[in-house]
C-alpha cells in the first residue's frame, strides 16, 4: 500500500488512501487433477505479489464433464472441502485474497460457484446465476445474491463468466458499491466477453478483472477450446492488462480502487445517479 497519492478525476483532485495490487492467473487446468491445479496456481504466481488474485472458473476441476457422477465426485462442500481449505492456506502464505471458481456440492445440489477467501478464511460463496450452455446439464442455477466483499480496504464484487452477458450482473454489483469486479471465467466465444466487460466497466465506472483459462479440453467426444485473453479494465474502459490467447500467464496491475467512486463521466453525468429505474422494465 502506498499512502498519499493525489490524482485527478474529472475536474477534481482526489486524495487516495492507497494503491492496491490486483492480479489474475490465466492457466490451463488439467481435468480432474485438483491437487495439480492448485499447485499450478501457486507455481504460476511464484514470487509475484498482489492483494487480490482472481483465478478462472472451475480452475481446480476443469470444465468438460461427461456425467453427473463425475461432477458430483469432483464437487466439494464449501468451506469444508480441500480446495477452499488450500485456497485459504495459500491466501495466508501470499498475504493475499483470492477469488476462484469451483464446483460446489450442497446436499443433492451441485453449483458452478466461486469462493472469495482471505488469510482469515472464507469471505463469500457465490453460485453462478446465469449458467452457460451445457452447464445446465450439470449444475443447479445459482441461488445466492451477487456478493460484494471487503479486500484490503476495497470492495470486491464477484460474478462468473457468462454473467457478463447480462448487464444486470455487473450493475447489481456496482449498485452495491463494488469497486472491483472479480470475474472468474472459462470463456469459449472468442472476443465476446472482452468487449462486454469493457462496456460493463465503463457503464458502471468500476474496475473489472476477468481471469480466463486456456487450452483445448477433449473428453467424451466433446472438445472445447478456451480462449484466454484475460484482462483488467479501468472504470474509463481503458484496458490495463490483456493476456495472450493460448499461454498461461500471471498479470498484476497496481490500481486505486477509489477511482471507481467517481461515477461522473463529465461534470453533469453520474452513471449511477442518472439512472431512472421508473422507466426500466424488470
Active site residues: 57, 128, 161
Query: Can you give the C-alpha Rg of the chain in angstroms?
Result: 18
Q: Is 165 in the site for a copy of itself (CB under 8 A)?
A: yes
Quick one: which segment of 32-40, 71-79, 97-105, 190-198 binds a copy of itself (CB under 8 A)? 190-198
Indicate the residue among 8 and 276 with the shorter CB distance to a copy of itself: 276
For a copy of itself (CB under 8 A), the number of binding residues is 44
In angstroms, what is the minimal distance from the CB of 111 to a copy of itself?
Answer: 14
Q: Is 238 in the site for a copy of itself (CB under 8 A)?
A: no
Q: Is 83 in the site for a copy of itself (CB under 8 A)?
A: no
Helical pair 34-45 and 82-94, crossing angle rounded to 10 deg: 10
Indicate the residue among 5 and 137 with the shorter CB distance to a copy of itself: 137
Quick one: which segment of 28-36, 110-118, 159-167, 238-246 binds a copy of itself (CB under 8 A)? 159-167
Q: Is 49 in the site for a copy of itself (CB under 8 A)?
A: no
Q: Are 265 and 271 in contact (CB under 8 A)?
A: yes
Quick one: which segment of 25-33, 94-102, 192-200, 241-249 binds a copy of itself (CB under 8 A)? 192-200
In angstroms, what is the minimal distance from the CB of 276 to a copy of itself?
Answer: 5
Q: Is 270 in the site for a copy of itself (CB under 8 A)?
A: no
Question: How far is CA 32 from its chain centroid?
Answer: 21
C-alpha cell at 118: 482471505
In angstroms, what is the minimal distance from the CB of 80 to a copy of itself?
Answer: 26
Quick one: which segment of 9-17, 21-29, 170-178, 216-224 binds a copy of itself (CB under 8 A)? 170-178
Q: Are 257 and 155 in contact (CB under 8 A)?
A: yes
In angstroms, what is the minimal distance from the CB of 38 to a copy of itself?
Answer: 30
Indicate the residue among 107 and 279 with the shorter CB distance to a copy of itself: 279
Indicate the residue among 119 and 237 with the shorter CB distance to a copy of itself: 237
Per the DSSP assignment, residues forming a β-bridge with 27 are 213
Indicate the residue among 15 and 165 with the shorter CB distance to a copy of itself: 165
Site for a copy of itself in 89-148 (CB under 8 A): 129-136, 141-142, 145-146
- 3-class SS string, the chain: CCCCEEEEECCEEEEECCCEEEEEEEECCCCCCHHHHHHHHHHHHCCCCCCEEECCCCCCCCCCCCCHHHHHHHCECCCCCHHHHHHHHHHHHHCCEEEEEEEEEECCEEEEEEEEEECCEEEEEEECCCCCCCHHHHCCCCCCCCCEEEECCEEEEECCHHHHHCHHHHHHHHHCCCCEEEEECCCCCCCHHHHHHHHHHHHHCCEEEEECEEEEEEECCEEEEEECCCEEECCCCCEEEECCCCCCEEEEEEECHHHHCCCEEECCEECCCCCCHHHCCC
Indicate the residue among 60 and 186 with the shorter CB distance to a copy of itself: 186
Binding residues for a copy of itself, rule: CB under 8 A, are 129-136, 141-142, 145-146, 162, 165-169, 171-172, 175-176, 192, 195-196, 198-199, 202-203, 237, 265-269, 271, 274-277, 279-282
Amino acid at each position: 500500500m502506498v499512502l498519499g497519492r493525489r490524482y485527478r478525476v474529472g475536474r477534481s483532485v482526489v486524495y487516495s488512501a492507497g494503491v492496491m495490487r490486483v492480479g489474475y492467473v490465466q492457466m490451463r487446468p488439467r481435468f480432474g487433477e485438483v491437487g495439480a491445479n492448485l499447485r499450478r496456481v501457486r507455481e504460476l504466481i511464484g514470487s509475484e505479489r498482489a492483494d487480490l488474485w482472481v483465478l478462472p472458473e472451475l480452475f481446480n476441476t476443469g470444465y468438460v464433464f461427461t456425467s453427473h457422477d463425475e461432477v458430483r465426485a469432483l464437487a466439494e462442500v464449501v468451506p469444508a472441502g480441500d480446495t477452499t481449505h488450500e485456497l485459504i492456506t495459500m491466501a495466508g502464505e501470499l498475504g493475499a485474497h483470492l477469488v476462484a471458481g469451483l464446483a460446489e456440492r450442497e446436499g443433492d445440489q451441485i453449483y458452478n460457484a466461486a469462493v472469495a477467501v482471505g488469510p482469515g478464511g472464507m469471505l463469500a460463496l457465490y453460485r453462478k446465476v446465469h449458467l452457460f450452455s451445457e452447464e445446465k446439464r450439470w449444475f443447479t442455477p445459482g441461488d445466492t445474491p451477487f456478493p460484494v466483499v471487503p479486500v484490503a480496504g476495497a470492495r470486491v464484487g464477484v460474478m462468473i463468466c457468462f454473467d457478463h452477458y447480462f448487464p444486470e450482473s455487473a450493475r447489481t454489483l456496482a449498485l452495491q458499491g463494488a469497486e472491483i469486479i472479480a470475474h472468474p471465467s472459462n470463456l469459449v466465444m472468442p472476443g465476446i466477453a472482452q468487449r462486454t466487460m469493457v462496456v460493463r466497466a465503463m457503464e458502471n465506472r468500476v474496475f473489472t478483472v476477468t481471469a480466463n483459462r486456456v487450452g483445448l479440453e477433449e473428453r467424451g467426444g466433446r472438445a472445447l477450446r478456451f480462449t484466454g485473453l484475460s484482462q483488467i479494465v479501468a472504470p474509463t474502459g481503458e484496458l490495463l492488462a490483456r493476456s495472450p490467447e493460448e499461454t498461461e500467464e500471471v498479470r498484476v496491475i497496481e490500481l486505486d480502487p477509489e477511482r471507481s467512486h467517481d461515477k461522473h463521466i463529465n461534470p453533469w453525468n453520474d452513471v449511477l445517479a442518472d439512472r431512472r429505474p421508473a422507466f426500466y422494465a424488470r
